Structure 1
Amino acid sequence: MSAADKIKNAAEELAGKAKEAVGNVTNNDKLAAEGKADQTKANVKQTGEDVKDVFKN
């Protein structure tokens, strides 16, 4: 996995956390759910890249 992919996935997860926090503060359940979904998507991508790295080595 390239460093750029790691940074991109981390940024996507951080954006999801921020979206979730804003949703929680503003009592916007839809925004909070979108934030959690973004975090999950970033974590799945990261896991997939980690699996690729294991098989490369």
Structure 2
Amino acid sequence: MHTMRLPLEGTHHRGDDDAWNSAAILAELLRRSREERGEPLDCGEKKGAPKRVMKW
């Protein structure tokens, strides 16, 4: 996460939080790959859509 400059969400080594963080890594890798190939990045996402909010 640090190397990719992504924020670590939740508690480290907690199953559901690790899954969210793994998904964030995959999403970032896919985004970078599309960007390198010059493909559109929108994928139907709405700008300003709320990100996952942690409530404990």
Give the TM-score, by structure 2 length: 0.57
Structure 2: where are the runs of 5+ without partners?
Answer: 1-9, 46-50
User: Of Structure 1 and Structure 2, which has the larger fraction of its residues in helix?
Assistant: 1
Give 1:33's match in structure 2, choosing from 17, 28, 42.
42
Corresponding residue of 2:34:
23
**CA RMSD between the two structures:** 2.4
Separation of aligned partners in 2, 1:27 and 1:14: 20
Q: Percent identity?
A: 3
Matched, 1:14 2:25: yes
For residues 29-54 of structure 1, give each alpha carbon's deviation from its aligned partner in whole angstroms, at most 9, with x where no partner exists.
1xx334xx5xxxxx41xx1xx21x1x
Over 3 Å off, 4+ runs? none
How many residues were matched structurally? 40
